[in-house]
Structure 1
Amino acid sequence: MDLVDLNRRAVDRCVELVAGVDAAALERPTPCAGWTLGDLLAHMIAQHRGFAAAADGNGRDRAAWEVRPLGPDPAVDYEAAARGVQASFGADGVLDRECWLPEFSEDSPFPGRMALTFHLVDYVVHGWDVAASLGVEADFAADLVAAAQRIAEQVPTGSVREEPGAAFGPALPAEPTASPMDALLLHLGRNPSWPKVG
């Protein structure tokens, strides 16, 4: 897999989705329990900045991961953060660097390739979250969903998913006929029928 290109395209699609967010939409609920769309965007911007810092060798600085209040034009702020992380992950040799991701582990760094897989899965899923909140289709390309699904299959299940602050909720059962996107969401604790089903 060309992880850099896949991640770039996932982020591009998220930028397109966030471009449809106006001030009135910021209070909409999202599939992320307890988060409005404004909360979700603030988190996504912070994660882009944090992952960019990690790829640049500055991931141990907790300030890089700080969630900040949204500015007057969240879509513009979001695109700036998105372009920043694309540039950082597009740098030569980034896949072989050590990346510190303090929200995942304070004890040791991750290979750049692994950090990039975390980011890719996160933004396919969070892109779906944004789309669901807005009532539109996420429309990620099939190869992006397939790549995210293969990576997500490595995410541990069990009690770790029930701990406070867990990145994903407990896995939900998937029918054999589930679409690849639905199967990905269910494995990571999202209900594809949200908000019709809690």
Structure 2
Amino acid sequence: MTDIRDLNAVAVRDSIDIVNKVRVADLGRPTPCAAWTLADLLGHMTVQHRGFGAAARGEGADLRIWEFAPAGEDAVERYREASEFVLGAFAEVDDSLDSVFELPEFKVDPPRFPARIAIGFHFIDYVVHAWDVAATLGVPFTLRPELADAAVRVALAVPNEDNRLAAGSSFVPALDSAEDASPLDRVLLYLGRTPDWRPPSGE
């Protein structure tokens, strides 16, 4: 698979499989995302699908689309619906992937990115967020071999600068990685996650 849309679709569908395991009683669980419960994380994931899908259709500049809200009891259903929305919107993008996405949540001026780059942002987010949900639930997560090279490449292209210390940043500063680390661990560590994260004792 060389089309970033195909890679992204696999990552998103893997995330759906994991989110399908969520039960209402799980929504208050802590996650690897500091200060976020699983309800917060799923709310973020759902809104980001909606925002990126709107951006693919030329409507990303509307800030209302990106407004965050924690997930409720219908979290799984809403996540599935948002996933299908973004995958459908990406499939409609011209195959040249040269169209421009407006992504106002990115603090750059102007917040416009070629489709290829923007979909890459989305892809790596959902590789990592699928792992976040799996870790929260204590279920296994496997990065598919066909996604590994692209995931490492896209992750390592994310700047590791002061932007990661800003409030609301998607990732915290990179952690050290061993030379023999797996592709998944390389991605997680570079994006500030701890691969062996577990919920606090008693959760």
Name the TM-score, length of structure 1 as normaliser.
0.94
AA aligned to 1:177 is D
The answer to whether residue 121 in structure 2 is matched with residue 118 in structure 1 is yes
Aligned residues: 197
* Shift in Å, 1:159: 2.2
Say whether 1:107 aligns with 2:109. Answer: yes
1:42-95 CA-partner distances (Å, limit 9, x unpaired): 000000000001001000000111123434321111000000000001114162
Q: Which has the larger displacement, 8-17 or 64-73?
A: 64-73
Q: Which residue of 2 aligns with 1:168?
A: 171
Partner SS state of residue 49, structure 1: helix
For 1:8 and 1:36, how far apart are their aligned partners in 2?
A: 25
The residue aligned with 1:184 is 187
Q: What letter corresponds to residue 99 of structure 1 in structure 2? A: F
Q: Shift in Å at residue 107 of structure 1?
A: 2.6
Q: Which runs of 5+ in 1 are unaligned?
A: none
Question: 1:101 and 1:83 mapped to 2: Cα distance?
Answer: 19
CA root-mean-square deviation = 1.5
- Unpaired runs of 5+ residues, structure 2, are none
Match of 1:33 in 2: 34
Residue 157 of structure 1: aligned partner: 160
Hey, what does 2:43 align to over in structure 1? 42
* Worse-matched range after superposition: 85-94 or 125-134: 85-94
Deviations 1:137-181 (Å, cap 9, x if unpaired)? 122311213211111111111322222222210000001121110
Q: Percent identity?
A: 48
- Secondary structure of the residue aligned to 1:11 is helix
Preserved contact between residue 93 and residue 99 of structure 2 (Cα < 8 Å): no
Question: Which residues in structure 2 correspond to 1:11-160 (within 5 Å)?
Answer: 11-93=12-94, 95-105=97-107, 107-108=109-110, 109-160=112-163
In 2, are the aligned partners of 1:182 and 1:192 still within 8 Å (CA)?
Answer: yes
TM-score (norm 2): 0.92
